[in-house]
Amino acid sequence: MNEAHVLDKEFLFKSSIYEITSISIEDNHDINGSKIEGEFIISGDYRLHEISINKEDFCFKLPYTHELPSNINLDTVELEITDFNYEFNNNDELKVHVEYILTAEEGIKLFESEAELNKFLDNNDAEIIDLKESTRAQNEVLLPETKEETETPSKIDENMILGSINEEEKYVKYHIHTVTMNDSIESITKEYNISLNTLKKYNTFENLELNMKLLIPDEES
């Protein structure tokens, strides 16, 4: 809903005044059933005489009532003043002009018959959606295929190896040995003077691979 409205009204002061020194407008409304009922409150102050120092207050109320369509959501009804101006005539007349719009979102539309529903669909280029099918489709989630990758010891970097050292071993000196083509388990254990059990305690492998990195504790430190 988007409706534009205009109100014009003349108000008379109780007596002649010299000038209006300030004026403002505000809206106050309620929604009662299918109606919006309210009033614009026009207030300000004026000087009674040209030589007057003191100002007097004034307040006028401009009521309005509008029927609301049956197919709107009443919680979304809003009123916006788009224009307000006034004229001061004959030292005692205030003429006001107010323009405003009423807006609201559409709610659930009820149809008394199937024929009325079909007519609405034809005129509004609409279609019926099966909410059960729509909900089922929303609940179906396609998961991407994933490949489980296992990282071989040869791909483990030095930071990962060093990060596996526990707190009790942090004062032990370690060597990181990169396996070459000429290496064997026997040559490595002999080179660092460690046993096979010690080597396997700090490293997990079935067979040696080229460029594999091994963590070797310095048992002499």
The answer to whether 69 and 1 are in contact (CB under 8 A) is yes
Q: What is the mean pLDDT of the chain?
A: 82
Tens digit of each residue's pLDDT (9 = 90 or more) over 121-165: 777 666 666 655 555 555 554 445 545 544 444 445 555 555 555
| Cα–chain center distance at 51 | 57
Tens digit of each residue's pLDDT (9 = 90 or more) over 55-70: 999 999 999 999 998 8
Q: Return the beta strands (E) in 140-204 as ranges.
A: 174-178
Range with top average pLDDT, 82-96, 131-145, 193-207: 82-96
Provide the whole-model pTM. Answer: 0.50
The answer to whether 128 and 95 are in contact (CB under 8 A) is no
- 82 or 118: which leads in pLDDT: 82
Domains of the chain (ranges, CATH numbers): 2-103 (no CATH), 153-217 (3.10.350.10)
> What pLDDT, on a 0 to 100 scale, did the predictor assign at position 70?
82
DSSP sequence for 74-99: GGG-EEEEEEEEEEEETTTEEEEEEE
